[in-house]
Structure 1
Amino acid sequence: MSLKLNMQEIKRLNNSAIRAMEQTVDALQTEVRTAQVMPYDNGDMQNNDTFAETSVRGHEIESRLITGSVQARRLYYHPEYNFQTVNNPNAGGKWLEPWIDGEKKDFAQTTFNTLYKKEVERGDA
């Protein structure tokens, strides 16, 4: 018995997974912005200091939503702060929790599954 792998097809599927991961984290960023949950004064933290990043190491693909502003960590881990809600009515600490452990925890997996299927069906390398 012999097994012959179609390496070109495997590469195409891997590339589809990478594109789907990139699109998934972009969709998460849009979802967070639309939900208006991040603290927002002049919008720098949400609009300029939050970005998506995808990296590939060996067979692992990792996507992250990063907020790089200096105050992000302090604000995120202190939900007891009195956040202004003029610009973002749902602003508060731990703004990603609905997508991590809350009611939207399936968002990333469901979005990835949908986008991966579309990428595979598209058939590009």
Structure 2
Amino acid sequence: MGVKVNIKLNKANINKLIEAHSKALEMTADAVLSDIKASAVIPKETGELERSHFVDTSQLKDGISRIIAGGGDTPYARRLYWHPEYNFRKDKNANAQGKWMDDYLYGEKQQFIKDTYSTFFKQLSKGLIK
């Protein structure tokens, strides 16, 4: 005796989830960037490095969003990021440091990313995700 299974996909709901995922991913990247700035970890003299950070959504359709530090107008961004041994001034950003995004990539702020994405995805899925 065999088992017969009939599956019908709800394409409208699948599309809603795909849209919710993309928007939640973008909103999460924006929230992470805001948190990075609020955490005062970016070295700051004039504020240009901090202002030059932005969210890149050019690959959002592939499930990728990036926070870009420095762009093309701040060639010192890479040098400052990769040299945590520098003696960063703390008068403008009290927690200024090199590798300021590492906590989000490898440390305790990973959970912030997961929780933020989860919250946004649930909200945007309009009841499809509980």
Asked if Structure 1 and Structure 2 have the same fold, meaning a TM-score greater than 0.5 normalized by the shorter chain, the answer is: yes
Structure 2 gaps of 5+ residues are: none
The residue type equivalent to 1:14 in the other structure is I
Indicate the residue corresponding to 1:52 in structure 2.
55
The alignment's TM-score, normalised by the length of structure 1, stands at 0.89
Q: Deviations over 1:23-67 (max 9, x none)?
A: 0000000000000000111111111x100022234xx31011001
Give aligned-pair identity as a percent.
Answer: 36
CA RMSD of aligned residues (A): 1.5
The residue type equivalent to 2:85 in the other structure is E
**TM alignment of 1:75-94, pairs within 5 A:** 75-94=80-99
Question: 2:26–2:60: 8 Å Cα contact kept in structure 1?
Answer: no
The alignment's TM-score, normalised by the length of structure 2, stands at 0.85
Matched length: 120
Higher strand share: 1
Provide the rounded CA distance (Å) in 1 between the counterparts of 2:54 and 2:7. 43
**TM alignment of 1:1-125, pairs within 5 A:** 1-47=5-51, 49-54=52-57, 55-57=59-61, 60-67=62-69, 68=71, 69-121=74-126
Provide the rounded CA distance (Å) in 1 between the counterparts of 2:29 and 2:8. 34
Structure 1 gaps of 5+ residues are: none
Q: Which has the higher contact order (CA 8 A, sep 6+)?
A: 1
Task: State the 1:121 CA deviation.
Answer: 2.2
Task: State the 1:122 CA deviation.
Answer: 6.7
